[in-house]
C-alpha cells in the first residue's frame, strides 16, 4: 500500500502514511491483545505456579506483538526513498574538506599527524585530498 | 569460591547468548529506545524463573550488543539506532560526507568493545569502594533519591524548569497510584513503559487532531541515504586494537574510566560532555571526527555498564538514570524482585549476587557481545541496514510498540493499567518534547513519588 502523497505525516521521528498508520495501530492492538488473552485463558486451565503461567502468557503476548509487527511490515511498505550515495566525486569531497578546514580554528595539517594516522588516510585515498585542500586554503588566505 | 560462581554458569550462558542475539537485532532498528525494549524483555526473563546470574547476563549482554549495532544505522544511514546514538549523529554525518562512513562504524564498534571491558572492571572497583557507604545511603534513601532527582533534573535541557516540574509530575504519579489502589491494583513496569514510550503516545494524539496532522504533514517520503559498499578489512574478526590508533585507544580508556565514575549523570549527557572533551584535544579534522566518534560510542557502553553495576553492587537501589530506567527490573520486578523500602526488606540482584559474581558474569556478557554483536556489525552492517530500511516500515514499528504497551499494561493491571499508560504516557511525552523534562527526570520523579514521599508524609 503506497497511499497518496497528501497523507504523509511525520510521527515519532519518521514518516508514515496516515491511513496505513491508523490501520497498523488497530492491527497491532488487536492481534497482540488477542493473542495475549487467548494465551491467558489457555493457561488458566493449566495447573501450575500462577506467576510462572502468567509470565508465559505475557511471553506469548509479546510474540503476538512481534507477529503483528511482521504482518504490518508485509502490508505497509516504508514511506522512505532509499538512495545510494554516489561514491563521492573527488572534487566534491575536496570542496567539503576545504570548508571543514576553514571552519576549524587552529586546524592542524595532516602532515603533522602521527605516522599511523597518516597511513590510515593514505589507505582511504584521502591523504592527497586533504593535502590539496590544505594547499588551496593557504592559497586563498594568501590572496586575502 | 569459583564453584559457587559457576553453579549458574550454563543458564547464564544461554540467556546471555539469547540477550546478545536479540538485542543485536533490535539495536539495528532505528528508534528502539533502550528502556522500552529492555524492560519488558528482562522482566519476562525474570518472571519465567531464570536464575539471578542468568537475568543479569541477559541484560548486560543485551545492553552491550545493542550499543554496538546501534552504530550501524547511525553511521550508514544517518538515523539514530536508539536514544544513546543521537549524540553521535553530527560526527557520523560529517564522515559520511567525506565518503568514509565504514571507518566511522569500524571505529565506533571497536571502541565499544574495549570500553565495555574496562567499564566492567572499573565499575566493580568503584562499587566496592562505595559499598561500605551503602548502608548509610540506604538508610537515607528517600533523601538520596530526592537529591539525585533534583540534580538529574537540573542537568537536563529544561534546567530549573525540570527541577520545578518534578513537583507536578510527582503529584501525578501519586494521583495515579491512588487511582489504581482504589481498584486494588499495583502497577510497576507499566509506569516505566509509559514514560519510555511517552513521546510516541503524545505524537499520536497530536497527529490525530486536525491541527497536529497539518503541522506534521510531509510532502514527500523520507529521503534515506545509504553509504555505498566498501569492505576494508580482512577476516571475520578484526582486531579492535588494530582498528583504533594509539591516541584513540588512550581516549577510549580515559573516557571509559571517567564515565564509569560519574555514574549518577545522564548517559546521553556524559556522551556529549566527554565527546567535547576529546574533541578539544585534537586539531586535525579527520582525526578529530574519528576519535570523538569512537570515544563517544565507548561512553555509551561504559555509562550503561557502570550505571547498572555500581547501584547493583553497592546499594541495591536504582540510584542512577540507567538503573531507574532500562535496568529497573533488575532492582524491582514484583513479585520476584523488590527494592528495599521502609516497610519491606529488599530482595533483588543486589542481595542475590556477590560482587565477584557481578565481575565474572559482567565480563562474560561483554565476551558474548564481542563474539556475537561485534563480528555481525563489522561484516553485515550494510546489508542489515538496507534490509531494515527497505523492509520494516515505521508503521510496523508503531504497531509493535502499541501492541507492547497494551499487552504489558493489560498483563499488569487490566483496563486500569491501559488507562494509566495512556494518561502518563501522554503527559510524559508532552513534557519531554516541549519542556526538556526528559525520561531520565521522569524515571527519577517516579522513584521520588514511590520512595521519598511516603517516607516524608
Question: What is the tens place of the pLDDT at every residue in B392-436?
Answer: 888 998 999 999 999 999 998 999 999 999 999 999 999 988 998
- A50-64, B338-352, B379-393, B437-451: least confidently modelled range: B338-352
Return the residue of A nearest to B223 by Cα. Answer: A81
Judge whether A84 lies within some domain.
no
* pLDDT band per the 50, 70, 90 thresholds, residue A3: very low
Q: Residue B179 has what pLDDT?
A: 94
B217 contacts chain A (CB < 8 A): yes
Task: Assess whether A56 and A9 both reside in one domain.
Answer: yes
Does residue A70 sit within a domain? Answer: yes
With bands split at pLDDT 50, 70 and 90, how would you rate the model's confidence at A20?
very high
Tell whether A71 and A96 lie within a shared domain: no
Query: Do A71 and A97 sit in the same domain of this protein?
Result: no
- Distance in angstroms (rounded) separating the CA atoms of residues B83 and B359: 27
Give how far Cα B280 sits from Cα of A89, B124, B243, Å.
30, 30, 22
Sign, CA torsion B278/B65/B439/B328: negative
The pLDDT > 70 percentage for chain B reads 97
Kindly state the greatest CA–CA separation across chain A: 87
Q: Does B422 touch chain A (CB under 8 A)?
A: no
Contact (CB, 8 A) for B20 and B65: yes
| Portion of chain B with pLDDT greater than 90, in percent | 43
- What residue segments make up the domains of chain B, in order of their start? 2-215+236-456
- pLDDT score at B233: 58
What is the DSSP track for B214-229?
A: HHTEESSPEEEEEPPP
Chain A hits for B221, CB-CB cut-off 8 Å, are: 8, 15, 79-81
Question: What pLDDT score does B64 carry?
Answer: 95
Domain termination site, one of A75, A102, A119: A75
CB A130 within 8 A of CB B286: yes
Nearest-Cα distance to chain B for A144, in Å, is 23
Residue B446: is it exposed, middle or buried by C-beta count within 10 angstroms (0-12/13-18/19+)? buried
Reported as a pLDDT band with limits 50, 70 and 90, residue B189 is: confident
Look at the block and give the residue holding cell 508503521: B395
A10 interaction partners in chain B (CB closer than 8 Å): 216, 218
pLDDT at residue A35 is higher than 70: yes
* CB within 8 Å of chain B, chain A residues 3-22: 5, 8-18, 20-21
Tell me how far apart the alpha carbons of residues B197 and B33 are, in angstroms, rounded to a whole number: 8
Q: Closest Cα of chain A to B409: distance in Å? A: 10
B455's enclosing H/E stretch is helix B453-456
Determine which of A90-104, B118-132, B156-170 has the lowest per-residue pLDDT on average. Answer: A90-104
Query: What is the pLDDT averaged over residues B317-327?
Result: 88
Within the 274-293 window of chain B, which residues sit less than 8 Å (CB to CB) from chain A?
282-288
Alpha-carbon separation of residue B118 from B34, B85, B114, B263, B291 (angstroms):
22, 20, 6, 14, 18
Residue A83 inside a domain? The answer is no
Mutation target vs A (from B25, B95, B395; most A CBs, 10 A cutoff): B395
pLDDT above 80 for A56: yes
A1 shares contact with chain B (CB less than 8 Å): no
What pLDDT is attached to residue A1? 45
pLDDT value, residue B440:
78
- Tell whether the model's pLDDT for residue A33 goes beyond 70: yes
Percent of chain A with pLDDT over 90: 26
Phi, psi torsion values for B282, nearest 5 degrees = -125, 130
Q: Give the orientation angle of helix B101-130 with respect to helix B355-391, to 10 degrees.
A: 150
Question: Same structural domain for residues A69 and A40?
Answer: yes
Instruction: Using the predicted structure, report yes or no on whether residue B6 has a pLDDT greater than 60.
Output: yes
What is residue B197's predicted lDDT score, i.e. its pLDDT? 87
| Residues A24 and A64 reside in one and the same domain | yes
Between A13, A62, A100, which is nearest B407 by CB?
A62
Query: What global pTM score does this model have?
Result: 0.84
Name residue, grid cell 565476551.
B367
Residue A112 C-alpha cell reads as 603533522
CA dihedral B408, B433, B428, B319 (to 10 degrees): 90
Q: How many domains does chain A have?
A: 2
**Residue finishing a domain among A43, A75, A107:** A75
Cell 514511506, located at residue = A79
Q: Are residues A70 and A123 in the same domain?
A: no
Of A24, A87, A100, which has the smallest distance from its Cβ to B395's Cβ? A24
**A20 contacts on B by Cβ (under 8 Å):** 393, 395
B103: contact with A, CB 8 A cutoff: yes
Query: Which grid cell sits at B47?
Result: 518472571
> pLDDT: is B367 or B150 the higher one?
B367
Is it the case that residue B313 has pLDDT exceeding 60?
A: yes
Alpha-helical runs (H) found in B77-209: 89-97, 101-130, 134-139, 141-154, 160-182, 189-208
The answer as to whether A123 is a domain residue is: yes
For residue A103, give every residue at least 6 positions away whose Cβ sits within 8 Å of its Cβ, in sequence order, or none.
none
CA pair distance B357, B36, nearest whole angstrom: 27
Angstroms from B37 CA to nearest CA on chain A: 11
Same domain, A15 and A59: yes
DSSP three-state, residue B333: strand
**Full strand arrangement of the beta sheet holding A8-11:** A14-17, A8-11, B217-218
Between CA B301 and CA B305 the distance in angstroms is 6
Q: Which of the listed residues A75, A103, A133 is the one where a domain comes to its end?
A: A75
Interface test with A, best of B89, B393, B397, B414 (most A CBs within 10 A): B393
Span B217-265, pLDDT tens digits: 888 887 777 766 665 555 666 788 888 888 999 999 999 999 998 887 7
Domain of A71, in residue numbers:
5-75
Q: Looking at the structure, tell me whether residues A16 and A68 fall in a common domain.
A: yes
Whether residue A139 is found in the same domain as residue A104: yes
Q: How far is A46 from chain B (nearest CA, A)?
A: 16
Q: Which residues of A touch B217 (CB under 8 A)?
A: 8-9
Amino acid at each position: 500500500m503506497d497511499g497518496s502523497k497528501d497523507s504523509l505525516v511525520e510521527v515519532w521521528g519518521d514518516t508514515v502514511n496516515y491511513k496505513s498508520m491508523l490501520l497498523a495501530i488497530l492491527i497491532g492492538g488487536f492481534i497482540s491483545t488477542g493473542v495475549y488473552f487467548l494465551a491467558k485463558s489457555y493457561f488458566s486451565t493449566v495447573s501450575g505456579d500462577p506467576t510462572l503461567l502468567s509470565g508465559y502468557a505475557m511471553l506469548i503476548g509479546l510474540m503476538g506483538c512481534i507477529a503483528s509487527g511482521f504482518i504490518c511490515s508485509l502490508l505497509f511498505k516504508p514511506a522512505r526513498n532509499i538512495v545510494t550515495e554516489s561514491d563521492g566525486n573527488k572534487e566534491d569531497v575536496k570542496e567539503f574538506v576545504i570548508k571543514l578546514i576553514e571552519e576549524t580554528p587552529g586546524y592542524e595539517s595532516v602532515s603533522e599527524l602521527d605516522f599511523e594516522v597518516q597511513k590510515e588516510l593514505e589507505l582511504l585515498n584521502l591523504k592527497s585530498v586533504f593535502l590539496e585542500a590544505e594547499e588551496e586554503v593557504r592559497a586563498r588566505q594568501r590572496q586575502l | 569460591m569459583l564453584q559457587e560462581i559457576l553453579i549458574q554458569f550454563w543458564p547464564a550462558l544461554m540467556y546471555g547468548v539469547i540477550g546478545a542475539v536479540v538485542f543485536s537485532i533490535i539495536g539495528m532498528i532505528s528508534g528502539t529506545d533502550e528502556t522500552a525494549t529492555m524492560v519488558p524483555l528482562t522482566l519476562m526473563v525474570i518472571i519465567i524463573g531464570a536464575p539471578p546470574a542468568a537475568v543479569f547476563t541477559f541484560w548486560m549482554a543485551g545492553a552491550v550488543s545493542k550499543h554496538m549495532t546501534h552504530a550501524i544505522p547511525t553511521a550508514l544511514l544517518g538515523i539514530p539506532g536508539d536514544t544513546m546514538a543521537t549524540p553521535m549523529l553530527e560526527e557520523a554525518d560529517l564522515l559520511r560526507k567525506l565518503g568514509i562512513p565504514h571507518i566511522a562504524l569500524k571505529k565506533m564498534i571497536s571502541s565499544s568493545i574495549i570500553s565495555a571491558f574496562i567499564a566492567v572492571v572499573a565499575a566493580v572497583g568503584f562499587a566496592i569502594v562505595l559499598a561500605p557507604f551503602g548502608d548509610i545511603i540506604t538508610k537515607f534513601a528517600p533523601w538520596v533519591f530526592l537529591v539525585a532527582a533534583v540534580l538529574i533534573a537540573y542537568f537536563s535541557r529544561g534546567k530549573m524548569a525540570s527541577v520545578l516540574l518534578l513537583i507536578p509530575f510527582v503529584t501525578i504519579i501519586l494521583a495515579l497510584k491512588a487511582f489504581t489502589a482504589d481498584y486494588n491494583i499495583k502497577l510497576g513496569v507499566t509506569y516505566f513503559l509509559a514514560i519510555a514510550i511517552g513521546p510516541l503516545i503524545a505524537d499520536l494524539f497530536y497527529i490525530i487532531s486536525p491541527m497536529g496532522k497539518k503541522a506534521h504533514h510531509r510532502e514527500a517520503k523520507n529521503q534515506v541515504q545509504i553509504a555505498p559498499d566498501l569492505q576494508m578489512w580482512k577476516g571475520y574478526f578484526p582486531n579492535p586494537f588494530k582498528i583504533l590508533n594509539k591516541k584513540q585507544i588512550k581516549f577510549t580508556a580515559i573516557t571509559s574510566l571517567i564515565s564509569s565514575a560519574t555514574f549518577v549523570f545522564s548517559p546521553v549527557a556524559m556522551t556529549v560532555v566527554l565527546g567535547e572533551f576529546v574533541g578539544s584535544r585534537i586539531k586535525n579534522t579527520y582525526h578529530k571526527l574519528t576519535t570523538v566518534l569512537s570515544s563517544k560510542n565507548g561512553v555509551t557502553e561504559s555509562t550503561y555498564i557502570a550505571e547498572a553495576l555500581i547501584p547493583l553492587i553497592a546499594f541495591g537501589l536504582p540510584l542512577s538514570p540507567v538503573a531507574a530506567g532500562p535496568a529497573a527490573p533488575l532492582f524491582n520486578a514484583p513479585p520476584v524482585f523488590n527494592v528495599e523500602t521502609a516497610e519491606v526488606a529488599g530482595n533483588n540482584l543486589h542481595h542475590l549476587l556477590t560482587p565477584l559474581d557481578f565481575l565474572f558474569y559482567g565480563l562474560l556478557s561483554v565476551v558474548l557481545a564481542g563474539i556475537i554483536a561485534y563480528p555481525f556489525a563489522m561484516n553485515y552492517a550494510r546489508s542489515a541496514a538496507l534490509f531494515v530500511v527497505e523492509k520494516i516500515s515505521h508503521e510496523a514499528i508503531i504497531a509493535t510498540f502499541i501492541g507492547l504497551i497494551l499487552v504489558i499494561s493489560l498483563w499488569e493491571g487490566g483496563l486500569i493499567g491501559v488507562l494509566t499508560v495512556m494518561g502518563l504516557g501522554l503527559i510524559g511525552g508532552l513534557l519531554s518534547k516541549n519542556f526538556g523534562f526528559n525520561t531520565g527526570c521522569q524515571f527519577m520523579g517516579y522513584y521520588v513519588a514511590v520512595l521519598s514521599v511516603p517516607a516524608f508524609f
